Structure 1
Amino acid sequence: MAISFIRIDDRIIHGQTVTRWANEYPCTGLIGVNDAAAGNKLLVSAFKGASSKKTFVWNKEHFKKNADKVLASKDQYFLITKNSVDMAELLVDFKFATPIKKVIVGPCPDRPGAVKLGNNQSITQDEAEAFERMYQAGFEIEFALVKEVSIGTWEKFRGKFGF
């Protein structure tokens, strides 16, 4: 199994991802996918410095080109994006065939136009549409900053967005 954990986190890669979630799910490396971060050498360096594990920061196109290599890898990676729109593109549009069908949603900050679901977990209609696309493709979506503090799954919140 090449992917052991899928997460959406507006911070992408940080200490909590590496230390806390790695205790819950096996992990030898991290793959952060974000076009802006991948093009910023300073951010790439900071993300790599947040972990002693193999860490990659790719744009979406690079991920698409290397998806089969990731799936064939003997290593176990966390797959992380900054937002649900990017994750839906990877999982649904790119048809990434991971056996992991659970997406854990971490911090999503309060912003204008976002609906607050819980503490530090607010999403926009565009993000909700991406969650719905993943949900319709068979993914379970759970909102949890940390494992023991889940505020629920997408089923609980989708009605707020017209689904």
Structure 2
Amino acid sequence: MIEFIRIDDRLIHGQVATTWLKFYEIEQVIVISDKLADDEIQKTVLEAAAPEGLKVHLFSTDQFTSVYKKSPIKRRTMLIYTDPQEILRCLLGGVKIKKVNVGGMKFAPGKQKLTKAVAVSEEEKKAFQELVKSGIDIEIQMVPNDKALKIAQVLS
């Protein structure tokens, strides 16, 4: 079952491995990224970054949506996305999504800072607005002990 959905462009890293995985007792992580899905090196890096015993999978949005529709997820699972557009594509493809946690989204030219750790492009902002409109609860929160901030409060 999907226990936790997060956007974090750093994917599996110390913060995820030490806090969120333990907090939700995660057994497998599925990274969903159209940019990285066919990158064998990235898949190897993800597997190496994961704690021992944790299953790691890497899919494109289309691959994940297809797998999701065909076979139920039985392990306690965390989905990690790199951007909100991919979540929106999965949602439109039939994936049930109720809540999303936003971690790190790096600042780059052409992006607007929403918080210290989250910056969005115009396309990402529009995707977040669509997700919020569809009823998904989206919170910015780096680690479980931090106070969560509703993304709707900082989208302008």
Is the pair's TM-score, using the shorter chain for normalization, greater than 0.5?
yes
Structure 2 counterpart SS, 1:55:
strand
**Would you say how many aligned residue pairs link Structure 1 and Structure 2?**
154
1:68 aligned residue:
69
- Partners of 2:149 and 2:121 lie apart in 1 by 17
- Partners of 2:124 and 2:74 lie apart in 1 by 32
Structure 1 counterpart SS, 2:69:
helix
User: CA shift at 1:115, angstroms?
Assistant: 1.3
- Partners of 2:47 and 2:112 lie apart in 1 by 32
By percentage of residues, which structure has more helix? Answer: 1
| Percent identical residues | 27
**What is the RMSD of the two structures over their aligned residues, measured on CA atoms?**
1.6
1:39 aligned residue:
38
For the Cα contact (< 8 Å) 2:32–2:81, is it kept in 1? yes
Aligned residue identity for 1:64 = T
1:144 aligned residue:
141
Summarize the alignment of residues 118-133 of structure 1 with structure 2, pairs less than 5 Å apart: 118-133=115-130
2:86 aligned residue:
86
- Partners of 1:117 and 1:56 lie apart in 2 by 30
For the Cα contact (< 8 Å) 1:142–1:150, is it kept in 2? no
Q: Deviations over 1:69-102 (max 9, x none)?
A: 45x23211101111111111112x112124xx11
User: CA shift at 1:35, angstroms?
Assistant: 2.0
Q: What TM-score do the two structures reach when normalised by structure 1? A: 0.87
- Partners of 1:121 and 1:90 lie apart in 2 by 21
For the Cα contact (< 8 Å) 2:62–2:90, is it kept in 1? no
User: CA shift at 1:117, angstroms?
Assistant: 1.5
* Unaligned segments of structure 1, at least 5 residues: none
User: CA shift at 1:151, angstroms?
Assistant: 5.7
* Unaligned segments of structure 2, at least 5 residues: none
Q: What TM-score do the two structures reach when normalised by structure 2? A: 0.90
1:95 aligned residue:
94
